[in-house]
Amino acid sequence: MTATLRHLFALATCALLLGGCASTPPSIARYDFGPLPAATLSSKIGTLIVADITGPSALDTEHMQYRLLYADARQARPYAYNQWAATPFQLLGQRLRTNFAQAGVKVLSTTDAITNPTVLRIEVNEFGQNFTSASSSHGVLNVRASLFRNHRLLDQRTFQRSVAATTPDAAGGAQALAEASDALTADLLTWLASVAQP
């Protein structure tokens, strides 16, 4: 191979390498709710079955969604390079169960055998980051909670929490929704304690 050919080959190799670098997409950042807050809640609810959380199919995905209320409130938009580590239903369910257990509730699943079971079912109505301006957003969580005993409805309530994001991006939205989920735990525990226990 002559010096000229070697030179051309080296240039072609560099061009291919640089082209490959330029076409590499940014890595995906994955968020969860982070560490649990310090234990401050205490409950004497006893034993509770927490069913798997349900909701609209649009939320049954790892995509992080936001709405621009000042532009088009009816359009949910996904972040391009940011995702949840699991679906919002899975993240919220795990967070609630862990917070309940930390508060002293004996948390069981729907497959556990128990006499006179008390079952909490939660359906998510809204879970996302809403921007009121380009620099201001809130993590909004809205759920309908239903409490059953022996397949009979004891009570049903709708809960909503809205927490301001510290930054107008996916990281701020993840932080706000984690705090909204923890606040929702306190709301649910207060409500559950007000419903007659066996």
137 forms beta bridges with 131
Say what the pLDDT of residue 14 is. 45
Say what the pLDDT of residue 2 is. 55
Say what the pLDDT of residue 189 is. 93
Say what the pLDDT of residue 100 is. 93
Say what the pLDDT of residue 197 is. 60
Segment (H or E) for 142: strand 136-149
pTM: 0.83
Say what the pLDDT of residue 39 is. 75
Helix (H, G, I), strand (E, B) or coil at 5: helix
Note the pLDDT tens digit of each residue in 118-172. 999 999 999 999 999 999 999 999 999 999 988 899 999 999 999 999 999 999 9
Say what the pLDDT of residue 38 is. 80
Query: Which among 114, 115, 116, 143 is positioned nearest to 127, based on CA atoms?
Result: 143
Query: Which among 48, 54, 178 is positioned nearest to 101, based on CA atoms?
Result: 48
82 forms beta bridges with 29
CA atoms within 13 A on the CB side of 109: 4
Low-confidence ranges of the chain (pLDDT < 50): 5, 8-22
CA dist 185 and 63 (Å) reads: 23
Query: If you average pLDDT over every residue of the chain, what do you get?
Result: 87
